[in-house]
Amino acid sequence: MSMFKALQKAEAEKDIEALMSLYHEDFEFVRHQTGTTMNKTELRVILLGMMTHPSFEELMQRCIYENDDILVTHAVMRFQDGTRESVLGAKMIENGLIIRSETGATPMK
């Protein structure tokens, strides 16, 4: 199964354990919008909050490009506060696990 399909499956099933099993222990997430980073433990808290919040919604997600080294995606998300963003993500893959993720987001009206 491709990394994109594995991520989609775990997210659709709201399976945080399956989702986190796709991330390397040395994972780093970089948000270019804020210049902040987080590790796998911090990411788990964020993802669990998003997955369980009734007003969070991924309106669209598509795979732009994927191979054994990288996954590039585009998504439109509605966050808990009602804002919407167009999010471009690049996930670097090492030994079949996501080792680094970078996103750029643009607010939408």
67-79 tens-digit pLDDT: 999 999 999 999 8
pLDDT mean across residues, the chain: 93
pLDDT at 54: 84
Express each pLDDT in 22-49 by its tens digit.
Answer: 999 999 999 887 888 999 999 999 999 8
pLDDT at 66: 98
The pTM of this model reads: 0.90
pLDDT at 70: 98
Q: Which residues pair with 88 in a beta bridge?
A: 74, 104
Distance CA 62, CA 52 (A): 22
Structure tokens at 8: 């989609």
Q: How confident is the model at residue 4 (pLDDT cuts 50, 70, 90)?
A: very high
Looking at residue 51, what DSSP letter applies?
Answer: H
